[in-house]
């Protein structure tokens, strides 16, 4: 039996300070770790696992992107178009790999897991961090210290 290892640990440095987004990012890392934990080198096993989880994972990612995009539109974030393009490109890349996989192309689960891990972590650090910073700039700080965005902030 293989040992379960957490390959990516959530760190506060990944936190953007927006609760819903942080929770979704944690969920993405849970999936990344699940992928690593199913790397066995046995392609037949890896294929069965991948087939079972990938569609739900894509759905999760799409919902996450939609949450961010709604937030960016709502706050009139100037980097929205560029950011959305990054989301769309990533989704297309993943959907294409899944199509290739379903057409019988060789799957190396470890490679896919690294690709996902690297993309998610760098996207959080370099792209998501930008709207989070903008969000903090325009948000109103309530007396309890919490940040909220009202219509007045984005008018």
Residues in the chain: 155
**What tokens were used for 47?**
């294929």
* Residue placing its CB nearer to Fe ion in the complex, 94 or 107: 94
List, in sequence order, every residue forming a beta bridge with 147; answer none if it has no partner: 141
Give the N- to C-terminal CA distance of the chain in Å, as an integer.
58
What are the Cα distances from residue 25, in Å, to 103, 118, 145?
30, 13, 23
Q: Which of residues 56-75 bind Fe ion (CB under 5 A)?
A: 68
Q: x/- string (CB under 5 A) for Fe ion, residues 12-51?
A: ----------------------------------------
CA count, 13 A, side-chain hemisphere, 68: 30
What are the Cα distances from residue 111, in Å, to 10, 62, 95, 108, 151?
21, 21, 16, 5, 44
Closest separation in Å from C-beta 108 to Fe ion: 25
Q: x/- string (CB under 5 A) for Fe ion, residues 86-125?
A: ----------------------------------------
Closest separation in Å from C-beta 86 to Fe ion: 7
Closest separation in Å from C-beta 79 to Fe ion: 10
* Residue placing its CB nearer to Fe ion in the complex, 72 or 107: 72
Q: Give residue for tokens 């969000």.
A: 135
Considering only residues 18, 39, 128, 139, which one is a binding residue for Fe ion as defined by CB under 5 A? Answer: 128
* Number of chain residues interacting with Fe ion (CB under 5 A): 2
Q: What are the residues binding Fe ion (CB under 5 A)?
A: 68, 128
């Amino acid at each position: 039996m293989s040992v379960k290892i957490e390959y990516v640990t959530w760190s506060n440095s990944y936190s953007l300070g927006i609760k819903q987004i942080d929770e979704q990012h944690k969920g993405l890392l849970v999936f990344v770790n699940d992928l690593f934990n199913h790397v066995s080198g046995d392609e037949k096993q890896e294929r069965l696992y991948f087939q079972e989880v990938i569609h739900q994972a894509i759905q999760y990612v799409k919902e996450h992107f939609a949450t961010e995009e709604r937030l960016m539109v709502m706050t009139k974030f100037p980097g929205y178009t560029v950011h959305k393009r990054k989301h769309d490109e990533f989704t297309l890349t993943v959907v294409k790999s899944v199509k290739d996989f379903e057409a019988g192309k060789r799957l190396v689960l470890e490679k896919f897991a690294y690709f996902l891990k690297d993309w998610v972590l760098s996207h959080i650090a370099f792209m998501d961090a930008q709207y989070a910073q903008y969000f903090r700039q325009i948000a109103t700080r309530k007396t309890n210290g919490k940040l909220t965005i009202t219509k007045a902030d984005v008018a």
